[in-house]
C-alpha cells in the first residue's frame, strides 16, 4: 500500500470551520466526500459499511415512526442512506446543517431541514425537547471541540432525547487511541505500508495536543452524560471502517 493522500491534502482538510464547510458545499470542483472534509480514498466505496455500523449501534432506526435528528449530515451518500431508511420506516427526519449543505440533499415530506449552527438553532430545543428518539452526529464532534462548545453541544442533545432515546456521537478522532495504535507493531506496519517508507510514526504519550480530542475528553463526555442520568458507552468501530484504528464512537441511551 502506498500513500494515497498527500501532505497537501492532509493540510487542506485540517482545522475546518463551519464557514469553511459552507464554502466547500458550493465548490463544484470538490467531490461529495471532499465537501465534507475527506479525501475520496477515505470514503469512496466505504460509506455503506459506515452506515451498517451506525444502524447496528442505533437499533431504534429499524423501528417505525420515530423522530430522528442528524446533526451535521453533510452531503455524501451517508445522509442519503439515512433518508432512504427513514422513508421505509415512516420516520420523521430532522437535518441540521448549513443551508449550503442542506441544499445538496433531497427534500421530502418527512424531512425537515433546519439551517443553522447547532446547538444554537432557534426553536429546535423548544419544539423537540424530550421528543427525539434517535440522534446521530458523525465526524462532527472534533470540529465542535475546536470551534464551539462541546459541552453545550452534548447538554442540548441530552435535553432533546425522549425516554429510551439513543444518541451516537460517531467517528470521534481520539489522538490517544491513535498514539496507542501507532506505537504498536501493527500500527508501525500500517504506517510504513501507507507511506511506502521505513519511517517510525511518532507517538508521544503524556502530552496535551491543542485542538485534538484525547482520552480525557472522550471519558469526560461519557461521565457528563452518566452524571446527567443517561447510560453511556465508548464503542469501537468495525474493522472494515476506513479509520477504525484511530477513531471510536460514543453511544448514549436514556433509560
Q: Is 28 helix (H, G, I), strand (E, B) or coil?
A: coil
Q: Domain range holding 52?
A: 7-168
Whether pLDDT at 69 is above 50: yes
Count of alpha carbons within 13 Å of 103, Cβ hemisphere only? 10
Q: Measured between alpha carbons, how far apart are the two ends of the chain, in Å?
A: 45
Q: Is the pTM of this model over 0.85?
A: yes
Examine residue 190 and state whether it is found in any structural domain, yes or no: no
Q: Is 189 helix (H, G, I), strand (E, B) or coil?
A: helix
pLDDT for 28 equals 94
Examine residue 186 and state whether it is found in any structural domain, yes or no: no
pLDDT for 157 equals 98
Whether pLDDT at 233 is above 60: yes
Cell 422513508 found at: 87
Each residue of 76-101: pLDDT tens digit?
A: 999 999 999 999 999 999 999 999 99
pLDDT for 208 equals 84
Examine residue 239 and state whether it is found in any structural domain, yes or no: no
Examine residue 221 and state whether it is found in any structural domain, yes or no: no
What is the average pLDDT score of the chain?
A: 93
Examine residue 98 and state whether it is found in any structural domain, yes or no: yes
pLDDT for 206 equals 86
Please say whether the beta carbons of 76 and 104 come within 8 A. Answer: no
Pairing of strands 67-71, 92-97: parallel
H or E element, residue 50: helix 47-57
3-state DSSP: the chain helix, strand, coil percent, rounded to 5? 40, 20, 40
Q: Where residue 2 falls among pLDDT bands split at 50, 70, 90? A: very low
Q: Where residue 204 falls among pLDDT bands split at 50, 70, 90? A: confident
Whether pLDDT at 195 is above 90: no
Examine residue 243 and state whether it is found in any structural domain, yes or no: no
Cell 475546518 found at: 16
What is the domain-level CATH number for residue 156? 3.40.50.150
Calpha distance 72→70 (Å, rounded): 6
Please say whether the beta carbons of 67 and 91 come within 8 A. Answer: yes
Strand ranges (DSSP E) for 61-160?
A: 67-71, 92-97, 111-115, 132-138
Examine residue 25 and state whether it is found in any structural domain, yes or no: yes
Q: Where residue 1 falls among pLDDT bands split at 50, 70, 90? A: very low
Each residue of 106-159: pLDDT tens digit?
A: 999 999 999 999 999 988 999 999 999 999 999 999 999 999 999 999 999 999
Each residue of 28-38: pLDDT tens digit?
A: 999 999 999 99
Q: Considering its fold, how many domains does the chain have in total? A: 1
More confident residue, 72 or 207: 72
Examine residue 35 and state whether it is found in any structural domain, yes or no: yes
Amino acid at each position: 500500500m502506498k500513500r494515497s493522500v498527500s501532505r497537501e491534502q492532509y493540510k487542506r482538510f485540517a482545522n475546518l470551520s463551519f464557514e469553511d464547510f459552507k464554502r466547500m458545499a458550493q465548490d463544484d470542483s470538490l467531490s461529495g466526500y471532499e465537501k465534507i472534509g475527506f479525501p475520496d480514498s477515505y470514503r469512496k466505496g466505504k460509506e455503506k459499511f459506515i452506515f451498517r455500523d451506525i444502524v447496528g449501534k442505533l437499533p431504534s432506526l429499524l423501528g417505525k415512526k420515530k423522530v430522528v435528528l442528524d446533526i451535521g449530515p453533510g452531503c455524501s451518500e451517508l445522509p442519503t442512506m439515512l433518508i432512504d431508511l427513514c422513508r421505509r420506516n415512516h420516520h420523521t427526519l430532522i437535518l441540521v446543517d448549513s443551508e449550503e449543505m442542506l441544499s445538496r440533499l433531497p427534500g421530502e415530506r418527512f424531512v425537515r431541514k433546519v439551517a443553522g449552527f447547532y446547538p444554537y438553532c432557534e426553536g429546535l430545543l423548544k419544539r423537540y425537547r424530550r421528543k427525539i428518539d434517535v440522534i446521530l452526529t458523525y465526524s462532527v464532534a472534533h470540529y465542535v471541540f475546536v470551534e464551539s462548545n462541546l459541552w453545550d453541544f452534548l447538554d442540548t442533545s441530552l435535553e432533546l432525547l425522549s425516554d429510551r432515546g439513543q444518541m451516537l456521537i460517531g467517528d470521534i478522532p481520539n489522538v490517544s487511541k491513535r498514539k496507542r495504535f501507532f506505537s504498536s507493531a501493527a500500527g508501525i506496519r500500517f504506517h510504513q505500508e501507507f507511506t511506502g517508507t521505513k519511517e517510525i510514526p511518532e507517538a508521544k504519550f503524556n502530552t496535551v495536543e491543542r485542538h485534538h480530542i484525547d482520552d480525557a475528553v472522550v471519558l469526560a463526555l461519557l461521565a457528563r452524560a452518566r452524571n446527567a442520568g443517561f447510560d453511556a458507552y465508548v464503542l469501537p468501530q468495525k474493522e472494515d471502517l476506513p479509520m477504525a484504528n484511530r477513531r471510536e464512537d460514543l453511544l448514549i441511551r436514556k433509560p
